Structures are given as C-alpha cells and as structure tokens.
Structure 1
Amino acid sequence: MLINADFSRPVILAPHQYQWVPSPQNGVERIMLDRIGAEKARATSIVRYAPASVFPRHLHPRGEEILVLDGTFSEGGVDYPAGWYLRNPPGSSHQPSSGEGAVIFVKLRQMPSHEQRHVRIDTRDPANWRVEQGREVCPLFADGAEQVTLQRLAPHEALLADADGGLELLVLEGDVIAQQQFCARCAWMRLPAGALPAIVAGARGATVYLKTRHLAATTLKG
C-alpha cells in the first residue's frame, strides 16, 4: 500500500479530507496520512481507540513515536492523557489500550536501528516549555537526524523553520496558513527537503507539532 509515498512532493491534508479506516483490531481505527507497506508499514497516522479497546502486545522493530491528542492512551499499566509525547525505540514492545477512548498521532518504523532512548514528556507541564528567540517551545527529541518540538505561534507569526532537511507539521490548536491553504486543528503537512515553508499562524495563533531535518535522506517514492 502506498499513500503519499513520494517524499519529493509536498503534502497538505485538511481534516475534511480524512477518512477513518478500521484496523485489524476491533475498536481501533486510523487515518492514513502516509504509508509504505501493508499492516507492517512505515506509516504516519492518526489513530482512534474506542473506550475499553485493547491492542494485542506487539513489537516495534523500527520504533514508534506517539503524541496523545485526545482522551487517555495507556501502555504498561501507565495512563497518558492528552498532551503526552512517547517515543519507543526500535526493538521495543508494548500492549496499548484505552479505558476512556483516545486519539493519538503515530509514526511507525521511522527510527534508525541504533536509537535506544525511551521518551515520556508531558507537554502540558509548563516546566517542559522554554522561550527560544521570543517563541514558546517544548523540546521533545533531537539527534543528528531529526528535531521534534511543539511550538506556540503568536497571531500572524511566521514559522520560519529550517527546511533544508524537510519539515512535517501537525496543527494542535488554532490554525495556520501554509502554501496559501487554510489549515485548522489536526491538519497535517509534509514538505520536502529544500521547500520554502511559507507557514503563518492565523488570527488566533497556533500550537503545532514540528519535526524537521528527517526527510533529507528519504528516497522512498511511489
């Protein structure tokens, strides 16, 4: 299965374009944002857990990155309400579930094999935010291959992110204008390396998930 698999092309998806697709597990659905492969795929998705849903324990050979958008996501007997960022390295395994239901942003099989860090960050804790060049930023992860943050943009503020290695963005609050398109909450975009990221917050400002540098060496195409 190939969905938005040409990483040399920009992709901007608005929520009204999304389609929920059932997963093999009852009570778990996903919106496929990009995907290369069948059930065991390199994939970026928004996943919805119905209340009292449980996914069987499974392995993540190339890692998993999660941002909890709504509800409460659980794994290993620990609950992670909306706002938590989780990073499970290659070779890790877990049994995810949700008692009350949850919506999560998920990236699968996109980590280098040498990554070893488990990351757990509550992005709603003010202590995890800092001011960088006048903007509030919550650092989530950084290494030589990628940088992941949450950023709060003031009304009409330009993002001005480094796009040399590509850029991926999910709107968490407010809205942005990107490539002359209006992008409301939960809009997702992926801009290739070298693209000029003309992204500006709307009149209400915006909070965004931002990943940069990770597409520089990506050659997967479909």
Structure 2
Amino acid sequence: MLINADFSQRASLTPEAHQWIKSPQNGVERVMLDRIGVEKARATSLVRYAPNSYFPHHLHPGGEEILVLSGTFSADDTHYPAGWYLRNPPSSGHRPYSDEGAVIFVKLRQMSSDETQHVAINTDDEANWQQQGNRNVCPLFYDEVENVSLQRIDAGELLFTETVHGGAEILVIAGELIEGEQVYRQDSWIRLPIDANVSIKAGEKGATIYLKTGHLNNIIGLDVEAD
C-alpha cells in the first residue's frame, strides 16, 4: 500500500477529506496520512480508539511516536490524557488501549535504530514551554536527524521565513493556518518536501502546531513491504 509515498512531493489533508478506515482491531479506526506497507508499515496516521478498545501487546521494530489529541490513551498501566507526547524507541513494546476513547497522531517505523530512550512529555504543563524569539515553543525531541516541537504562532505570523531545507511536517492542533485561499483548520496535516518555499501564516486567532523538521534528509524505514 502506498499513500503519499513520494517524499519529494508536497502532501496535505484537511479534516473535510478525512476517511476513517477500520483497523484489524475492533473499535480502532485510522486516517492514513502517509504509508508504505500494509500492517507492518512505515506510516503516519490519525488513530481513533472507541471507548474500551485496545490493541494486543505488540512490538515496534522501527519505533513509535504519539501525540494524544483528545481523550485518554493508555499503554500497559500508564494513562496519557490529551496533550501528552510519547516516543517509544525501536524494539519497545506495549499494549495500547483507551477506556474513555481517544484520538492520537501516530508515526510508525520512522526512528533511528540509535534511539533507546522512552520519551513522555506533558505539553499542557507550561513548565515545558519556553520562549524562542517571538514564538512560544515546547521542545519534544531533537537529534542530528530531526527537530520536533509544539509551537504557538501569533495571528498573522509566518510559519517559515526561509527555505525549509530538510523538509517539514505540520499538524494543526488548534487555531488555523492560512496559505493563499487555503485554510488549514484543526487536525489538518501538511508535509513539505526538502527545500520547499512556502508562505503559510497563522489565522486571526493564531495557531498551535506540531512541527517536525529536518527528517526528510534521512528518511528511515523504507524497506517495508509495499503490497
């Protein structure tokens, strides 16, 4: 399965175009944003857990990155309400579930084999935010490959003021982004290729976004089955 699998091309999806597809597990649905592979895939998705739904315990050979967007996501005996950011390193495993229901943003098989540390950050804790220039930023992860953060952008502020050299991936958490006549509201996803030049700004109420940059210089996990 190939969905937005050419990383030299721009890709985007707005909530109006979301198609929720049943997963192999009852009560769990997905919006596939990009994907190479069937179930054992390099994938970026929105995943929706109905109340009292779960996946059996499983491993993540290429790691797993999660941002909880609504409800409460649980793994084994730990509960993560909306706002929590998680990184489960390659070869880690868990039993994910939700008692009350949840929607999460998930990236699978996209980590370096050098990653070994579990990351769990509460982005609703203001102590995890810092001022960087004129922008309020919650750093989530940084290495030589990628930089991941949540960012609050003031109304009318440009998202980028220079060429996006290593590519970028954006999920609108709150507010909206505007590019010409296109409006990207909450839960919109955008992937920009290497060396993209764009003019995207925050809407009149500003925006809070998930932002990953640099990662397309070294795309990981393209050796999965693409049937």
Distance 1:179 1:147, change over 3 A: farther
Quote the residue 1:71 is aligned against.
71
Contact 2:146 / 2:215 at 8 angstroms: preserved in 1? Answer: yes
Quote the residue 1:42 is aligned against.
42
| Displacement of 1:181 | 1.8
Structure 1 CA distance, aligned partners of 2:182 and 2:7? 20
Secondary structure of the residue aligned to 1:189 is strand
Contact 2:165 / 2:195 at 8 angstroms: preserved in 1? Answer: yes
Q: For residues 170-209 of structure 1, what are the structure 2 equivalents within 5 Å?
A: 170-178=171-179, 180-209=181-210
| Displacement of 1:132 | 0.3
Structure 1 CA distance, aligned partners of 2:131 and 2:90? 32
Q: For residues 100-179 of structure 1, what are the structure 2 equivalents within 5 Å?
A: 100-160=100-160, 163-178=164-179
Structure 1 CA distance, aligned partners of 2:48 and 2:70? 9
Contact 2:110 / 2:219 at 8 angstroms: preserved in 1? Answer: no
Structure 2 CA distance, aligned partners of 1:167 and 1:180? 21
Contact 2:72 / 2:101 at 8 angstroms: preserved in 1? Answer: yes
Secondary structure of the residue aligned to 1:215 is helix
| Displacement of 1:218 | 3.4
Cα deviation per residue 1:74-94 (whole Å; 9 max; x = unaligned)?
012111000000000001000
Cα deviation per residue 1:143-179 (whole Å; 9 max; x = unaligned)?
0000000000011111126611000000000000136
Q: Provide the TM-score with structure 2 as the length reference.
A: 0.94
Structure 1 CA distance, aligned partners of 2:26 and 2:143? 36
Quote the residue 2:18 is aligned against.
18
Quote the residue 1:96 is aligned against.
96
Cα deviation per residue 1:98-125 (whole Å; 9 max; x = unaligned)?
0000000000000011111100000000
Structure 2 CA distance, aligned partners of 1:58 and 1:16? 32
Structure 1 CA distance, aligned partners of 2:198 and 2:219? 18
Alpha-carbon RMSD across the aligned residues, in angstroms, is 1.4
| Displacement of 1:217 | 3.1
Quote the residue 1:58 is aligned against.
58
Structure 2 CA distance, aligned partners of 1:199 and 1:173? 15
Contact 1:179 / 1:197 at 8 angstroms: preserved in 2? Answer: no
| Displacement of 1:16 | 0.5
Residue 68 of structure 1 aligns to which amino acid in structure 2?
V
Percent identical: 60
Question: Which residues of structure 2 form unaligned runs of 5+?
Answer: none
**Count of residue pairs brought into register by the alignment:** 221
Distance 1:40 1:125, change over 3 A: same
4+ runs of 1 displaced by more than 6 Å? Answer: none
Question: Which residues of structure 1 form unaligned runs of 5+?
Answer: none
Quote the residue 2:216 is aligned against.
215
